[in-house]
Amino acid sequence: MVEIICEFIVKEEARGRIELAYGPGGDWSRLFDRCPGFRGITVLRDAKNPRHYLTIELWLDGTQREQSLAENAAEYAALEAGLEEWAESRTEIGTFSVRAEATVRPRGKTRRSQSP
């Protein structure tokens, strides 16, 4: 699995557009939904700066993403062009793969307290 992380600064008047575009049923999610290897997208908004967003695309592998983008190049280009209407900037931060995950347990419940 790979995760592609992009950073956006959106124009003040278009703050909700990214959530609509990348959210369920949005233009970007509809494009990716039909692509093999696509596993989902997360949209994060900065708690201190409501114009600052991150998107995290989850794919089985980077090759499938690249192939899907090539096969849908015209539609992808049209969506990219539309970004100029509402985004001041878009930066692809990188392609990442998970190396470790942590599990958070509720307070007061440790492995020892769960044993009989």
Give the model's pLDDT for residue 110: 60
What pLDDT does 46 receive? 96
Burial class (CB in 10 A: 0-12, 13-18, 19+), 35: middle
Q: What is the pLDDT of residue 114?
A: 54
**CA distances in angstroms from 10 to 14, 53, 54, 56, 77, listed in the order given:** 6, 8, 11, 16, 19
Whether the pTM exceeds 0.95: the reply is no
Segments making up each domain of the chain, as ranges: 2-98
Query: How far, in Å, CA of 7 to CA of 73, rounded?
Result: 21
CATH architecture assignment, domain 2-98? 2-Layer Sandwich (3.30)
Tens place of pLDDT per residue across the chain (116 aa): 899 999 999 998 888 888 888 888 888 888 888 889 999 999 999 999 999 999 999 999 989 999 998 999 999 888 888 888 888 999 999 999 988 777 777 776 666 555 55
Q: Where are the alpha helices (DSSP H) in the chain?
A: 17-22, 27-33, 62-71, 73-86, 111-114
